[in-house]
Structure 1
Amino acid sequence: MRKVRKVLDIFGRFLFVLCVLALTFVFAMFQGGKVSWTIFYSLLPFVMYSTLLFFYPLTEIKVKRSIQTVSNRNGGKFLVTLLVKRKSRFPLLYTVVSEKWADDKRDSMVDVRLKKLFIFGFRKEKEWQYEIEQLPRGEHVLQGVVVEVSDFFGWLRKTKFIDAKDTILVFPKMMDLDYVPFDTQYDRGTQASLLNIVKDTTMATGVRGYQPGDRVTWIHWKSFARTQTLMTKEFEDRRSQELFLILDGRVTGTFEEQVELTASIMKEASSHQAGLALMTTGSESSLFPMIQSEEQQHQALVHLAKIKPTEKDKTATSSDFGTGFQHGGSIVLVTGKPDWSFMKSLLRGTKNARSIICFVVIKGDEPTPSAIEEDIRLARSKGVIVHVLGKEQFREAFKEVAGR
């Protein structure tokens, strides 16, 4: 239906141009005189150009887009270059090139007008470069480019959509946190410690070949006595705590801040070699049961970049935690609504948890609503460690909890 309207619009405009020419010709024939014929001959070149433009194929116009990412984090800058090329040198006057987003609302979310007016003339190509600032977190899809050409007076206009799909993935902004483990674990048993990774020299798990730099006290002398080959003891690594990180996917006024805090915790915990799992709740729960390698961390970050809050007030169920929470570590919940119905699902599905920490994210310049304060008191009475944070307090989040 839209294509039919487009064709009818073009033909209607072309018929209007022909009618203007016919009317001026009839006027000159019946009126006579120098003035009337001057009007006709003055109008003739414009009508001829409009006629030629009507038959000019826009299919020969091609567009190439290149995106230079200055920063792919929330609030970063993107430099975009559009190269518009064509084969012929037919003179084009007013040519408007505009970007087409998959989501029309994106146009109002960027700081520049994604539309440019060119006067091609006889040139075969034109380049347009623009910069997008403060692009919000998410997956932004550029579907293509809309090219519109017009004659002198706008009587005839032709529009062509050129498919040029590109996806811009903007990751959440991550900040450095002062990470302090709540507890650390061996593969069997747990032990409190503020260290991240150290060699426990009381737990030898095997031997390996000696390497330069190994301590003398680590040499396995019994093996050396038997084989006359230097062997070094291998020790149990003391690992940072097991963390099960949960992002509440319900709609709140601080959802973007919650995503940023979750991504920051994930980054810091991974850098400190913590056993890490991530789950996001919402209309559908997404689970990343093991985040150890850079690829696994990247997959989780991609999910955090694309996630959108859900309007449905869905809480997690105990079955959601069965796969992700397999160790007796700590649960860290990031939310903006610490209501007890949501908390209860955590307590029901995580009986082996050493501790449950809830970070309640609020706007730093706004007082905590009384309803949230009541939810916090109820959660604390059930043994949940609740810490209220504004964005400016994210850096000290773990120190505040560890100091309690």
Structure 2
Amino acid sequence: MKRTAQHLGRVIQLCLFIGILFSFAMFQGGFLSWFLFYSITPILVYMLIIPFYPFKYWRVERDLSASYVDAGSSVELKINIKRKTHFPLFYVMVEESCPASLKYKDIGDKKYQYMADQSYYRENRTLKKILFPYFRKEFSVSFKLDHLPRGKHDFTTIKLSTGDPFGLVSSEFNLNLDSHVVVYPAIHEIKWQLRTNSLEEGSNPANMYDERLTNVVSGVREYIPGDRFSWIDWKTTARKNTVMTKEFEQEKDAHIAVLLPVNNGKQLLPMSFEAAIELCLSILSRMRSKGQHITLHVFAEQEKHFTSQQIQSQFASVQNYLATIKQGEQSNISGKLQQTVHYLPKGTLILTIVTCLDAELVNSLIAKKKLAYQLFVCYISSEKQLTLENQRMIQQLELKDIAVQTITEADLVKEKWEVSAAK
């Protein structure tokens, strides 16, 4: 309303100025008076048209070089503009609405060396450029978005504005145009050193190897993308008219469940949470490439489960979910752990990735240890945030035979991340 009143005031002023010039030429007469009137009047008429210029008839398109990228990558955003007339425009300012999710940057593994300084990652992105189209009907502007952070970034509004060369009048128009880019968490190379139960019940734990044990066939199951050609059971495939593969003993016994509590802390630690997401996805990617039976359980405001078959055949959906998940308020992690554990077979290795340790979580993990599960905790924290209370809770878990690995910025800046629960 205020802007409309300003435009109306400028229009009235210009009209009065034209009237004054005309009156001056009429009463003064002479070549000079009429020359001033006819030379200035076109400029004033042009300035009168500017506030009413019809931007809504422009054809504006937003083009993203990619819709799905990895964290830290770059995307080029291009805005193409077409108009129907050659009406002269001295300048056009094109401003792209920058979502709040792009207010910080991802510079790769180097970002973790400043884990304690959360302000280091903030970046004020300004997507605004001035063009000088003059009589052109088609023109475009490009923006480069680099160091993209994880998440789904929605672009909703393009602001167009123009004015006269003297800055006396202006006009602007907001165009609603929805586009988005999804940035997946980075996948790191993992050095895997975990221990799990041996194949024989009651024996001591044995190291988990990267390759499957393919000498003990326990049954058949439907084919999953990534299975070897030699595992196909041709007789069962011909009988059921569906591709079936052999199921080996390791698939049934070596079960890994990754638990990711999202809201297990009152303090939101963005970089620790980003490390937890990237570690979780890296573990899933490595186990998937080895054909390991692994499930994912995310405890957020809405609990989410991914089965082993979903991780094998629908890995893109897992990436998309981990890309868009956000931290929220604290929730009842203990109750959700209690519900999830009933679905896991005995002897399952439960790998819990946390960014905050509290008494409720520690007591829940100790209770699960009594149910014949193997527990391993990856605790991600900055060295400056490792308090005596946290160290006391880590010792409490280790006394209950729960392996705990503390991952700090010194571990996260390495090219190869190590996950080790061997004692």
For Structure 1 versus Structure 2, the TM-score category normalised by the shorter chain is 0.7 to 0.9
2:153 to 140, 150, 175: 140
Residues in 2 aligned to 1:322 and 1:27: alpha-carbon distance in whole angstroms: 88
| Conserved? CA contact 1:90–1:122, under 8 Å | yes
| Residue-by-residue CA offset, 1:351-400 (whole Å, 9 max, x unaligned) | 54531111111236x473223212212222333211111245254532x3
Change (3 A) 1:72 1:188: farther
| Residue-by-residue CA offset, 1:105-144 (whole Å, 9 max, x unaligned) | 7499667531111111111111212211111111110003
Residues in 1 aligned to 2:417 and 2:98: alpha-carbon distance in whole angstroms: 39
Q: SS in structure 2 opposite 1:96?
A: strand
Residues in 2 aligned to 1:170 and 1:75: alpha-carbon distance in whole angstroms: 9
State the AA in 2 paired with 1:95. Answer: V
Change (3 A) 1:38 1:292: same
Q: 2:224 maps to what in 1?
A: none
2:14 to 14, 17, 35: 17
| Conserved? CA contact 1:291–1:297, under 8 Å | no
Residues in 2 aligned to 1:279 and 1:168: alpha-carbon distance in whole angstroms: 25
Residues in 2 aligned to 1:178 and 1:18: alpha-carbon distance in whole angstroms: 76
1:150 to 163, 173, 177: 163
Q: SS in structure 2 opposite 1:372?
A: helix
State the AA in 2 paired with 1:299. Answer: S
Provide TM-score, normalisation by structure 2. Answer: 0.76
In structure 2, the gaps of 5 or more residues are 106-121, 221-228, 232-244
Residues in 2 aligned to 1:157 and 1:214: alpha-carbon distance in whole angstroms: 71
Residues in 1 aligned to 2:149 and 2:336: alpha-carbon distance in whole angstroms: 33
Q: SS in structure 2 opposite 1:177?
A: strand
Tell me the percent identity: 21
Residues in 2 aligned to 1:187 and 1:17: alpha-carbon distance in whole angstroms: 93
Q: 1:170 maps to what in 2?
A: 183
Q: 1:59 maps to what in 2?
A: 56
| Conserved? CA contact 1:318–1:349, under 8 Å | no
Asked if 1:362 corresponds to 2:359, the answer is no
Provide TM-score, normalisation by structure 1. Answer: 0.80
Q: 1:219 maps to what in 2?
A: none
| Conserved? CA contact 2:68–2:184, under 8 Å | no
In structure 1, the gaps of 5 or more residues are 207-212, 216-232
Change (3 A) 1:188 1:77: farther
State the AA in 1 paired with 2:418. Answer: A
2:250 to 218, 223, 238: 238
| Distance apart, 1:341 and its partner CA | 1.1
| Residue-by-residue CA offset, 1:5-25 (whole Å, 9 max, x unaligned) | 554443333223223333444
Residues in 1 aligned to 2:320 and 2:181: alpha-carbon distance in whole angstroms: 12
Residues in 2 aligned to 1:255 and 1:202: alpha-carbon distance in whole angstroms: 40
* Structure with the greater alpha carbon radius of gyration: 1
Residues in 2 aligned to 1:32 and 1:294: alpha-carbon distance in whole angstroms: 89
Q: 2:353 maps to what in 1?
A: 334
Q: C-alpha root-mean-square deviation of aligned residues, in Å? A: 3.6
Alignment of 1:342-353 (within 5 A): 342-348=361-367, 351-353=370-372
Residues in 2 aligned to 1:73 and 1:279: alpha-carbon distance in whole angstroms: 22
Query: When the two structures are aligned, how many residues end up with a matched partner?
Result: 376
